[in-house]
Chain A
Amino acid sequence: ETGVTQTPRHLVMGMTNKKSLKCEQHLGHNAMYWYKQSAKKPLELMFVYNFKEQTENNSVPSRFSPECPNSSHLFLHLHTLQPEDSALYLCASSQDSTTSSGANVLTFGAGSRLTVL
């Protein structure tokens, strides 16, 4: 079983809905990440949290709002999404995300498949 658990695995929502994706890691890691995987595109880094502090926002639209209440939990709040936001959203964790942590391996969850109608 993966040490990173994502829920829900599948989500269908309308453009006016508000929903949230949840990620939980059981590995004792201090850094957590959100990635977006769209068809035919490389994985796109969205947000990075290190010790609960956001250290990276990769020019993500404000309709995506992350929340990291502690080092084990990460949320992605979704509001007023567009159909092009349909994708697989992957959560990952690592020991930490400092620049000196290049060797840190990211452990990924199975993803939340989001469809925006």
Chain B
Amino acid sequence: AQKVTQAQTEISVVEKEDVTLDCVYETRDTTYYLFWYKQPPSGELVFLIRRNSFDEQNEISGRYSWNFQKSTSSFNFTITASQVVDSAVYFCALKSSNTGKLIFGQGTTLQVKP
């Protein structure tokens, strides 16, 4: 069974704080892909990153960084020096190479206060 769990339903931080959004996944596939999407109040899901299961290198993009740990089946997302514009719902997702289906977690609502 494929499953994505984002245990944090809501997080509230003050601007400039660092914040980590957790994502834990379950899959029996050896080849799979992990994604993070951001959903601002406007509604559309904005693609942030994709990792494949063979690439455990951590990635940094500006204030965003991702920590992929196959040993713990986790793909956590950290925002450094958060800003009010980071306020959104963030979704972690898993795509199996066998089914092609994209399975989403429940999402984490991040509120960054000025």
Partners in one complex: yes
**Which residues of A pack against B, CB within 8 Å?**
2, 4, 9, 40-43, 45, 56, 88, 90, 92, 97-103, 105-111, 113
Contacts of A103 in B (CB 8 A): 33, 50, 52
Q: Which residue of B lies closest to A97 (CB)?
A: B100
Majority secondary structure, A binding face = loop
Closest 5 CB pairs of A and B: A102-B97, A108-B45, A110-B44, A111-B43, A110-B43
Contact-size category for B: 20 to 34
Contacts of B96 in A (CB 8 A): 102
Query: Is A102 within 8 A of B44, CB to CB?
Result: no
Select which of B42, B52, B97, B105 is within 8 A of A99 by beta carbon.
B97
Query: Is B31 within 8 A of A88, CB to CB?
Result: no
**Which residues of B pack against A, CB within 8 Å?**
4, 31-33, 35, 37, 42-47, 50, 52, 91, 95-107
Contacts of B95 in A (CB 8 A): 102
Query: Is A45 within 8 A of B44, CB to CB?
Result: no
Query: Is A42 within 8 A of B47, CB to CB?
Result: no
Query: Is B100 within 8 A of A102, CB to CB?
Result: yes
Smallest CB separation, B21 vs chain A (Å): 15
Assuming the A-B contacts A42-B105, A45-B102, A97-B100, are A102 and B32 also in contact, with contact meaning beta carbons closer than 8 angstroms in the complex? yes
Query: Is B104 within 8 A of A102, CB to CB?
Result: no
Smallest CB separation, B8 vs chain A (Å): 14
Contacts of A109 in B (CB 8 A): 44
